[in-house]
Amino acid sequence: MAVINFGGVEETVVTREEFSLERAKEVLKNETLAALGYGVQGPAQALNMRDNGFNIIVGQRKNSRSWDKAVEDGWVEGVNLFDLEEACDRGTILMNLLSDAGQIATWPVIRDRLTEGKTLYFSHGFGLTFNDQTGIVPPANVDVVLAAPKGSGTSVRRLFLMGRGINSSFAVHQDYSGHAREKAIAIGIGIGSGFLFETSFQKEVFSDLTGERGILMGALAGVMEAQYQLLRKKGHTPSEAFNETVEELTQSLIVLVGENGMDWMYANCSTTAQRGALDWRHKFREATAPVFEELYDSVATGNEARITIEANRQPDYRARLEEELAELRNSEMWQAGAAVRALRPN
């Protein structure tokens, strides 16, 4: 384990140097990992584990697009691709990578196949943390662990293929075997994590839901829309408004932040940009702080979970979602974005 100082706070993290892939294989050598669900995280984690040489199978409903995708990815029915029930029977580590709604719907199937000594694995703390709403309560005689990549399944797979890996958190909710922590870390290494930091199921889901609704997606989209609309109202063209709002951020500045931090990005911009950014960041922080407080409270009280679960239970949820996404896609800002992306040199 490595102890790293994060801004004056010491934190223990697990890197691939301290916990090698070979050690992870040794820990899991007698296990059959069953990746349940082949939607968002499922393909990335299952393929990464397969490429790393672990004994892994996939469980997915037949006659579905996800089943067909699994076949396209080289999983073979009856060999390492099974329906959900058989995969649960065969697996000793059940990797519950279904959507939150899918986890609720299939919990009786999984629960009934969690025989003594098995391990239940999650990549998100939602189902367990909000079990008063989801009904997901594991039996006492199994290990319950988590490894949560800090990115989409697409990023998990892409960074793995680049030889880099994505950072993940890990947690142990229930240690029946006495080896749950070791198994959680081994799985985290197996799926290609760059390094792992310890958390709890509750902290993982609280931070995750806040981040998704906040700066990672919801706040980012909302602030972009506000700036774009302002520039358009002031007479700027769609191309100029989009480039100054989105293109420069995604194609230049955020890359610099990722490389060496915000201060390094500032240092590599003009003095005019530096002065303005340093001044105005305080205004934006103070303006948005109350919104983030409201957001975190909504997550912590279970309100966001309730909204999500109720929405997913509606029979027309998918159709309504597509309408909302189409509205976003067809907005002037993102139509301008499509045009700008088409003009990028190959």
CATH for 146: 3.40.50.720
* Tokens describing residue 336: 């301008």
Containing structural domain, residue 156: 2-199
User: pTM for this structure?
Assistant: 0.91
Q: What CA–CA distance (Å, rounded) separates 335 from 57?
A: 41
Catalytic member of 124, 173, 179, 236: 124
Q: Are residues 113 and 189 located together in one domain of the fold? A: yes
Would you tell me how many other CB atoms lie within 10 Å of the CB of residue 234? Answer: 8
Last residue of one domain, picked from the residues 169, 199, 229: 199
Q: Are residues 185 and 135 located together in one domain of the fold? A: yes
Last residue of one domain, picked from the residues 179, 199, 219: 199
Q: What length does the chain have?
A: 346
Kindly state whether residue 98 falls inside one of the protein's structural domains: yes
Last residue of one domain, picked from the residues 199, 233, 258: 199
Using one digit for the tens of pLDDT, what is the confidence trace for 179-238? Answer: 999 999 999 999 999 889 999 999 999 999 999 999 999 999 999 999 999 999 999 999
Label the pairing between strands 93-96 and 56-59: unpaired
6, 86, 217, 235 from 151: Cα distances, Å? 21, 29, 12, 37
Q: Are residues 190 and 225 located together in one domain of the fold? A: no
Q: Are residues 216 and 120 located together in one domain of the fold? A: no
* SS3 call for 10: strand
Q: Are residues 193 and 253 located together in one domain of the fold? A: no
Q: Are residues 46 and 174 located together in one domain of the fold? A: yes
Q: Are residues 78 and 220 located together in one domain of the fold? A: no
Q: Are residues 185 and 263 located together in one domain of the fold? A: no
pLDDT of residue 6: 72
Kindly state whether residue 206 falls inside one of the protein's structural domains: no
Kindly state whether residue 253 falls inside one of the protein's structural domains: yes
Kindly state whether residue 205 falls inside one of the protein's structural domains: no
Kindly state whether residue 204 falls inside one of the protein's structural domains: no
Q: Are residues 270 and 225 located together in one domain of the fold? A: yes
Query: Which parts of the chain register pLDDT below 50?
Result: none
Q: Are residues 169 and 257 located together in one domain of the fold? A: no
Using one digit for the tens of pLDDT, what is the confidence trace for 11-37? Answer: 888 989 899 999 999 999 999 999 999
pLDDT of residue 345: 86
Q: What CA–CA distance (Å, rounded) separates 196 from 177?
A: 21
Kindly state whether residue 146 falls inside one of the protein's structural domains: yes
* SS3 call for 1: coil
DSSP 27-83: HTTT--EEEE--SSHHHHHHHHHHHTT--EEEE--SSSHHHHHHHHTT--BTTTEE-
Q: What CA–CA distance (Å, rounded) separates 246 from 266?
A: 17
Q: How many structural domains does the chain have?
A: 2
Kindly state whether residue 12 falls inside one of the protein's structural domains: yes
Contacts of 50 (CB under 8 A, 6+ apart): 56, 80
Q: Are residues 112 and 221 located together in one domain of the fold? A: no
Q: Are residues 170 and 216 located together in one domain of the fold? A: no
Kindly state whether residue 260 falls inside one of the protein's structural domains: yes
Q: Which of 66, 205, 64 has the alpha carbon at shortest distance from 128? A: 205
Q: Is residue 124 among the annotated active site residues?
A: yes
pLDDT of residue 1: 66
